[in-house]
Amino acid sequence: MVELLSAEKFKDKKQDYSPFLVHLTKDKKSDSGITLAKDILYNIIKTKELKAFNHFCFFNPALESSPFQDKFNAVCFTETPISNIEILTANVIGKSLKLEPYGLVFTKDFIREMGGNPVFYASSDIAKLFWELYNALPKSNTDSKKICKLLALVTVCEKYNDWHWEREWRIIGDLNFTYSDIKFGLCPEEDIPYFKNNFPQVTFISPAWRINKIINALLEK
């Protein structure tokens, strides 16, 4: 007899599915120098806020001179399974963004409750339809905010510009959280004592760990 699976059991059996969403940090360059990803993560946890500094969508070039620019700023996450997070920190040809092995992990349910949504990966032809919506943005702040929230999720996905493997989610605007909202933190193994001493409320694991070591660390939480 064929076993009938519940939706939850079905997802448990899918090794490519994760109930978590991960935000990774990167080194930040400025006129005053470089702020390391490690220090950025420290400040994020200390302030309990992920700031939406930039926009990452299909409309980036047009947004540079747009009055709607701030309405497109987003915080980004990936639903890549935890056991595969380390590969996202690799140097990839054609990918200018270099992520570091420092970040925070939240449940997908929490990010969804806070307004998060998967990115819309669209072909160029379909993306043209979104341009029509962008060009018709109303002057009303209320209406434009709703439309911008939709358009800020659009990313073009073509043969030579295909990033859908990032499995990205976005929250439009800043994300405020409590320590209890953090499922666990990510950092290299040698930095775990540093973060553990500063934030004993948060469990940390290394993205380089294999799944059994990750499970053991979380069971000790």
The pLDDT tens digits for 153-164 are: 988 877 777 777
- Residue 139 has a pLDDT of 66
- Residue 134 has a pLDDT of 83
CA 34 – CA 11 distance, rounded (Å): 41
Stretches where the chain sits below pLDDT 70 are 1-2, 11-13, 59-62, 65, 139-142, 221
The pTM (predicted TM-score) of the whole model is 0.89
Q: Write out 187-198 in H/E/C secondary structure.
A: CCHHHHHHHHHH
Please write the tens of the pLDDT for every residue from 89-102.
Answer: 988 777 777 899 99
Q: Write out 24-54 in H/E/C secondary structure.
A: ECCCEEECCEEECHHHHHHHHHHHCEECCCE
